[in-house]
Structure 1
Amino acid sequence: MHTSKLQSEAWQALLSHGESLRGKHLAELFAHDAQRFQRLHRLFGPILFDFSKQSIEEPTLGYLLDLAREQGLAKCMDALFAGERINSSENRAAMHWALRLPPERVCEVDGEDITGLVHAQLLRMDKIVTKIRAGQWRGATGEVITDVVNIGVGGSDLGPLMVTQALTDSRLPAAAELNVHFASTMDGSQLSQLLGGLSPHSTLFIISSKSFSTIDTLTNAATARHWLERELGERVGLLNCHFLGVSSAAGKMTEWGIPEYNQMRLWDWVGGRYSLWSAIGLPVALSIGMHGFRELLRGAHDMDEHFREAPWEQNLPVLLGMIGIWNTNILGINAHAILPYDGRLKELPNYFEQLEMESNGKSVNRSGEPVDYATCPIVWGNVGPNAQHAFYQLLHQGTEAVTCDFIVPARRYLEAQHDEAAPELVAQHELALANCLAQSRLLALGDAAVEGAEALPPNKRYRGNQPSSTLLLNELTPYSLGALIALYEHKVFVQSVIWDINPFDQWGVEMGKKIAVDTLEQIRGQGADLASTDGSTAGLLERILRG
């Protein structure tokens, strides 16, 4: 019979400690400890991690780290960075960390020079980026490329889109005007809107797909190809001049029509949602230049080294991950909000949704047994100032407990660069900072943060005691963003070890796509009788087919 991991010694000690804290309000914890922030925050480079508003005390960290030791976190970390095949269901390594190794850091796995492979592709990427940004890449009719459309979905879209938008201030001017766009939806709506405003003479498409078999991406790619052929004619060199490919399937790229010199590679040991650091990040490099892209990699690599080497008591990924375990498994909180207070980070919640829920949204452990404890919470969020007008009502006065991560840069508009020209922008950033700090304070303390709260009617009272962390960046730069993303990647890994699940596969998304193939045949009148499906689907199909 399967024995629950919750029966282990460290789990039981943690559960018992949780009972001793149950009922203590965060306002009480702050009132009794004037040094709480000093004890419950950590620093790494440009990131300050404040977890003093979490419902923990300093001894809680000891219990959490005892659990990490019991669950074999150190051994699993060693296996990750040794290139072992820790993605057991697909018999693959998970070496996204190798994508950001510096060239002098030798890494060989199974006799293969991983560092050499990675930097050969970075060099290929550098040449392509330099040529396009210099205005030397021309379309089939001789026009300079002015617009690049990245066609991908999931990890081939969310990461490049998020980082490109986040680093708008880091964009370096190119010799030629260059605009970067993204299309991912399989219904073609995004692509259709884009094509209506683009010139086929000066548009380049990047087809990004690890397998080069994703129907969403290939359908959009075919539409782009037909658009070019319709507008420019089926002329020689059309595919050579207007398409780049990024995939682990070189043969499929060639079969589609992308010449070898327009192809960039990634590898089976890179999961899609961890592929931003590879040539999948080409749109980022086109936007901010290769120097900026390498700074992104450097920030992530430095976080890798911190994760590998820092004592766990000071280790940001370990602490962030284990505090999440505390909230999910001890406090029973099953919702987690990502709340950036900077409009450049508007896609960050979507990116972290995929990173966390596609990785750890599992109910079967590595041995194939069903788990009897909660795993990944529901992750959601929005830009904080917008979220305040959308769902903060529930956070403050609803019936659900929600943990929150507030993410904000301390500095936005630097004096020497912006003050004289736009002092109002400095004031706006100060407003965002004030709201970020005020909202997290009110969520934690509730009425204790409101003067005269006891005289207010019930509908104006605040229960507080909603746990949150604040990640304060010095500035939002390629380096700090790289470090932040890697921090969350490693957090996900830490939690997967504690829950004994594989964070590097995603079988849950596959069956629905397979069933969709049969359903498509039915919609097109080629499939089996509608009676072969369930009543609801049959009814909906009948309505669709009637027109």
Structure 2
Amino acid sequence: MGLLLDINSNIVKELNSFAHNGTNLKLNGLFKIDSERSIWLGKKWQNFYIDFSKQLIDKEIFKSLLELAEQSLLYEKISSLVSGNSINTSENRSALHSALRLPKDETLKVNGLDIVKDVHKTLDQVELIVDKVHKGQWRGYSGKPITDIINIGVGGSDLGPFMVANALKDFRVPSRLELDFHFVSSMDGTQIFKLLEQLDPATCLFIISSKSFTTVDTFYNANTAMEWMLEACPIKKLVLKQHFIGISANPEKMSDWGIFKENRLLFWDWVGGRFSLWSAIGLPIALSIGMKNFRQLLAGAHEVDKHFATTSFDSNLPVLLGLIGVWNATFLNINAHTVLPYDGRLQFLPNYLTQLEMESNGKAVTKSGHKVEFKTCPILWGDIGPNAQHAFYQLLHQGTQKVSCDFIAPIKRYHDKKNKSKTDEFLVKQHDLALANCLAQSRVLAFGNKAVSNSGELPAHKFYNGNQPSTTILMDELNPHTLGALIAMYEHKVFVMASIWGINPFDQWGVELGKVISEEILESLYVKEDGQKYDESTESLLKAVKGKV
């Protein structure tokens, strides 16, 4: 019917009953009647502490959600995921992004092949490129060393590398040259036009990232870059060899475009685009932070993979994140979710998670082809907390929408600067201010005016209702290992939610039809005669574009 369970099963009925009896789901009351709430809903694992106590659940609901996971065969689904079974049913593929972070000494055979060997062979190729660029040995057509790295991609080939490279700028490795990193994704040419005005073609290295190596958005930008390079050096073979790297699951298409064999990095059809930053798609990350740190990013994710596959559900962080996500979206009808990092380095994490969750779980059809009969993925957005406080927190605190929130913050920042200078002391205080705001905002969202003991009688416009559910994720500090772990938690959260809902999180057919129609309309832009090929609205818009209105 939609869930892997029958929608009318006892456990679903029970959770619906809890949800409809909303008078008992008041955070002020839940904390009042359960003095140990923060203990059993506060989960410590390695460098993380996650507080689920401000979610609208009690012990009965918690127990029922765990039972929902059991009856949804989640154990079996996790085993299928990490074993390489073809769980991407609409494309008959595995979804083995977790294999990208397996250590070199492990083995995972899929269709008789040990894919770990292939993964590490590619990682070794990435390391060779990183080493060559950092030593100034990768040189352009004029003999000058490369100083500017330009990643051309879109979606998963852009959002993941861009987010991580920005989040880990503190971990950039010193190299012989000062490298600058640029990311181009917009199809309208705005980004690449502005960028090419500033760069020296003799020192640019373009990374073309596309799983299919046919993505229209990416190749309009790549072709523009190529023409720009040829204006500076008309020897195309030399330009291709010294200035273009291709990353794809389609070596034939890379060859057709002209990418030299030694400049081709491969990943596999069992790696989804939005799960691909751990593969060769992560080359810009590795170039930025070095291979040692890139391997730490992989190691942090692998630790979560092991935790996810082996830990009981009541202490399993991705499972709990996913179950609470299902509870909020499906049972409580909270159809908006916001991610609020209180660290400027995580500025682009909400954008990344928007794609990860909404492209994965924005589905209305089950794996068995039935229409779902309940709400699945909520609308997700976010921003760094201080910006959000001055933008959309007004709606969170006093609006009419129910919104669930994730607060994310490192506990330590600038701790290596203590007692060094007055400026350093103020930096430490600024981080303390961010932490204080993070904790304060989650408190007010939960308890409203009752967060202040002496609030007294207030006019209506100063009233805070509270009872907005949130999870707070604290990590000891932000580094490659903890960031890798954090991203992997959210990846597995998405899988948990999809497993409960019975949908496929690893395809994205919803983006295909628009691509097909855009190609038709592109042809129509160049046709002088008007016709009635499209609907009236589109026809009138085409006339406006052609100046005929």
* TM-score category of the 2 structures, normalised to the smaller one: over 0.9
Q: Is the 8 A contact 1:149 1:180 kept in 2?
A: yes
Contact 1:71 1:498 in 2 (8 A): yes
Partner of 2:51: 50
Match of residue 110 from structure 2: 109
Structure-2 residue corresponding to 1:359: 360
- The aligned counterpart of 1:378 is 379
Map of 1:512 onto structure 2:
514
In 2: Cα distance, 1:10 partner to 1:419 partner: 58
Q: 1:414, CA displacement in angstroms?
A: 1.4
Taking the TM superposition and a 5 Å limit, the aligned residue runs for 1:88-167 are 88-167=89-168
State the partner residue of 1:60.
61
Query: What displacement does 1:361 show?
Result: 0.2
2:476 is aligned to 474
Provide the residue aligned with 2:435 in structure 1.
433
**Identity %, equivalent residues:** 52
Equivalent residue number for residue 200 of structure 1: 201
1:284-341, CA deviations, whole angstroms, 9 ceiling, x for partnerless residues?
A: 0000000000000000000000000011111001111001111112211000000001
Aligned length: 546
Match of 1:491 in 2: 493
Give 1:419 deviation, angstroms.
4.3
CA separation in 2, counterparts of 1:544 and 1:410?
52
How far is the alpha carbon of 1:79 from its aligned partner? 0.9
Residue equivalent to 1:402: 403
| CA distance, structure 2, for counterparts of residue 178 and residue 133 of structure 1 | 8
C-alpha separation in 1, matches of 2:501 and 2:125 = 40
Measured in 2, the distance between the counterparts of 1:244 and 1:24 equals 55
Distance 2:302 2:331 in 1: 32
- Equivalence for 2:171: 170
CA distance, structure 2, for counterparts of residue 153 and residue 520 of structure 1: 19
Checking the alignment, whether the CA contact within 8 Å between 1:299 and 1:478 is kept in structure 2 is: yes
Following superposition, the deviation at residue 416 of structure 1 comes to 4.4
Work out whether residues 81 and 96 of structure 2, in 8 Å CA contact, stay in contact via their aligned partners in 1: yes
Q: 2:312 maps to what in 1? A: 311
| Secondary structure of the structure 1 residue equivalent to 2:142 | coil
Q: 3-state SS of the aligned residue for 1:264?
A: strand
Moved more, 7-16 or 114-123: 7-16
CA RMSD of aligned residues (A): 1.5
Rounded to whole Å, the distance in 2 between the matches of 1:504 and 1:239 is 33
Q: Could you tell me whether the CA contact under 8 Å between 1:365 and 1:500 is conserved in 2?
A: yes
2:477 aligned counterpart, secondary structure = coil
The one-letter amino acid paired with 2:433 is L
d(CA) in 1 for partners of 2:220, 2:532 = 29
3-state SS of 1:201 partner: helix
**Residue aligned with 1:431, SS:** helix
Check whether the contact 2:50–2:471 (CA below 8 A) recurs between aligned residues. yes
Distance 1:12 1:250, change over 3 A: same
Take 2:378 and 2:407, find their aligned partners in 1: how far apart are those partners? 17
Measured against aligned partners, the alpha-carbon deviations of 1:142-200 in whole angstroms (never above 9, x if no partner) come to 01101000000000000000000000111111111111110000001011111111110
Counterpart AA for 1:304: D
C-alpha distance in 2 between matches for 1:219 and 1:60: 51
SS of alignment partner, residue 407 of structure 2? strand
Alignment of 1:293-312 (within 5 A): 293-312=294-313
Letter in 2 for 1:241: Q
Corresponding residue for residue 73 of structure 1: 74
**Match in the other structure for 1:447:** 449
Which amino acid is the alignment partner of residue 117 of structure 1? D
CA distance in 2, matches of 1:128, 1:24: 55
* 236-245 or 141-150, larger mean C-alpha shift: 236-245
Q: Is the 8 A contact 2:2 2:373 kept in 1?
A: no
Per-residue CA deviation, residues 435-483 of structure 1 (Å, 9 max, x unaligned), is 1100000000001012443321100010000000000010000000000
**Partner deviation per Cα, 1:209-242 (whole Å, 9 max, x = no partner):** 0000000001100000000111233354111000
**Preserved CA contact (<8 Å) 1:413 1:419:** no
Q: Which amino acid aligns with 2:471?
A: S
Q: TM-score, normalised by structure 2?
A: 0.97
Maintained 8 Å contact 1:375/1:499: yes
Aligned residues of 1:42 and 1:314 also touching (Cα < 8 A): yes
- Tell which deviates more after alignment, 8-17 or 140-149: 8-17
TM superposition shift of 1:430: 0.8
Deviates most, 259-268 or 53-62: 53-62
Taking the aligned partners of 1:2 and 1:345, their CA distance within structure 2 comes to 35
**TM-score for both structures, normalised by structure 1:** 0.97
What are the superposed Cα offsets for residues 375-426 of structure 1, whole Å, 9 maximum, x if unpaired?
0000111111000111000000000000000000001111347843521111
Which residue of the partner structure matches residue 523 of structure 2?
521
The alpha carbon displacement at 1:518 in A equals 0.5
Q: What amino acid is the match of 1:155?
A: G
